[in-house]
């Protein structure tokens, strides 16, 4: 009789090294750029895709815009329908008041995420490099970038989203 010894190891969904010391995320919508920062220093940059209507601040549910302003990355979803996702704290109180004055819902569920799960990364990378915005208001990065962001950014980190 042969004996086989099996070790079970809990594996995180992330296989990337973290970038130490990230205390802020900056997003530049016009440049399609996300930066991981420590103070005023940029530690790493990534290409992004935005909502299908990228110009202007998000004002209501369904406008396909990415919000602008200061928010917080407040929770994460390892079981996302996209390759990992980190929630952006939109809407804030100011966003809610603006939507109330317009008598609309401000929307929500704005995330940083990778490609949709179950879809070939090579298909998305071809689409990606055509420079197309495709989300409903989220900030999308490649799956490899999302792994690195996930490992480097803690809940409670500020995110500044610029026009």
First to last CA, the chain: 68
Question: What pLDDT score was predicted for residue 22?
Answer: 97
Question: What pLDDT score was predicted for residue 10?
Answer: 36
Question: What pLDDT score was predicted for residue 72?
Answer: 98
> Pick from 129, 123, 140, 27: which is nearest to 85 by CA?
140
Question: What pLDDT score was predicted for residue 116?
Answer: 87
> Pick from 81, 94, 97: which is nearest to 138 by CA?
81
pLDDT tens digits, the chain, 163 residues: what are they?
A: 444 443 333 334 445 678 999 999 999 999 999 999 999 999 999 999 999 998 999 999 999 999 999 999 999 999 999 999 999 999 999 999 999 999 999 999 999 999 888 766 666 665 555 568 889 999 999 999 999 999 999 999 999 999 9
Question: What pLDDT score was predicted for residue 132?
Answer: 83
Can you give the length of the chain in residues?
163
User: What residue has token string 């490099």?
Assistant: 129
Are 158 and 86 within 8 A, CB to CB?
Answer: no
Structure tokens at 60: 């209501």
What domains lie within the chain, and their CATH numbers?
24-162 (2.40.440.10)
- Three-state helix/strand/coil letters over 5-28: CCCCCCCCCCCCCCCCCCCEEEEE
Question: What pLDDT score was predicted for residue 17?
Answer: 79
Structure letter (DSSP) for residue 52: S
């Amino acid at each position: 009789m042969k004996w086989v010894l099996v070790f079970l190891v809990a594996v995180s969904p992330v296989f990337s090294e973290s970038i130490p010391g990230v205390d802020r995320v900056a997003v530049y919508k016009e440049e399609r750029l996300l930066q991981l920062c420590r103070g005023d220093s940029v530690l790493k940059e990534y290409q992004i895709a935005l909502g299908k209507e990228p110009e202007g601040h998000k004002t209501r549910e369904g406008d396909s815009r990415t919000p602008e302003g200061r928010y917080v990355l407040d929770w994460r979803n390892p079981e996302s329908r996209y390759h990992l996702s980190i929630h952006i704290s939109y809407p804030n109180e100011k966003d809610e008041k603006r939507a109330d004055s317009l008598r609309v819902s401000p929307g929500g569920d704005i995330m940083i995420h990778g490609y949709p799960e179950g879809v070939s990364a090579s298909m998305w990378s071809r689409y990606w490099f055509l420079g197309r915005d495709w989300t409903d208001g989220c900030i999308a990065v490649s799956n490899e970038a999302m792994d690195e962001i996930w490992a480097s950014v803690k809940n409670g980190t500020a995110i500044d989203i610029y026009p």
